[in-house]
Structure 1
Amino acid sequence: MNILITGQHLDLTPAIRAYVESKLDRIVRHFDQVIDIAVILGVDTPADKDRRHRAEVNLRVKGDVIHAESRAEDLYAAIDTLVEKLDRQVLKVKEKIKGHRQTSIKHIPEPGAEMP
């Protein structure tokens, strides 16, 4: 799994990078089929003073791309809400994949047959 963390109008410190990686471990723990993760952290223009810090993520899994975005006053708060949103989406995709793995038609007993 590859993790790419970039900053727009923001210096990425090792503390921020470590914080993001530790939060993304939660996602990988729930769903291990992650191919790569691209995280974009940034600061928006001063027009939106209440929620200046932005965090986005594109998570590639087999056959799908999951996108989540979050804005907050604090960068760490934006990262926290981003990971919560992403976690819900990943669990939804995981349940969707797991739901399609039902037994095949040849293994379903016929309506009049007895169960062993």
Structure 2
Amino acid sequence: MQINLTGHHVDITEPLREYVTTKFAKLERHFDNVVSVHAVLTVEKLEQKAEATIQLRGGTVHADAVATDMYAAIDALTDKLDRQVVKHKEKLTDHHRSEGAIHRALAEE
């Protein structure tokens, strides 16, 4: 997974970069087909905003979060993305396969 991190009115320090990297690495435990991540960290007066776009095999997921602390905004962002990635993964799985086997078994009786 390739992570592209951009700062808007904020310097991306090494601890901040490591924090973002570890948080986004946890997304791969649910769905290993993450191609790339583009994250933008923004500071506007008292608001700290984190937004990200994830390129997945089969789609794109985008989310953003605003908090008073940058680390809290990153946590909220990864929670939102985690839910969306799990939802995307559920859509890709074929839930109708087992239904056909049940109908065939009932028809044979």
Common topology (TM > 0.5)? yes
**Which amino acid counterpart does residue 23 of structure 1 have in structure 2?**
K
Deviation digits for residues 76-97 of structure 1 (CA, Å, limit 9, x no counterpart): 0000000111111111111111
Q: Does 1:103 align with 2:97?
A: yes
**1:74–1:25 CA distance, 2 compared to 1 (3 A):** same
Relative to its length, the structure with more helix (as a share) is 2
Aligned partner of 1:78 among 73, 79, 102: 73
Root-mean-square deviation (Å): 1.9
**Structure-1 residue corresponding to 2:9:** 9
**Larger Rg computed on CA atoms:** 1
What stretches of structure 1 of length at least 5 have no aligned partner? none
**1:105–1:29 CA distance, 2 compared to 1 (3 A):** closer
TM superposition shift of 1:103: 2.0
Distance (whole Å) between structure 2 residues aligned to residue 106 and residue 67 of structure 1:
35
3-state SS of 1:109 partner: helix
Distance (whole Å) between structure 1 residues aligned to residue 17 and residue 107 of structure 2:
61
**Structure-1 residue corresponding to 2:84:** 89
What TM-score comes out, normalization by structure 2 length? 0.89
TM superposition shift of 1:110: 6.1
What stretches of structure 2 of length at least 5 have no aligned partner? none
Q: Show structure 1 runs of 4+ deviating over 6 A.
A: none
**Structure-1 residue corresponding to 2:38:** 38
Alignment map for 1:48-63 (pairs within 5 Å): 49=46, 52-63=47-58
TM superposition shift of 1:9: 0.7
What TM-score comes out, normalization by structure 1 length? 0.84
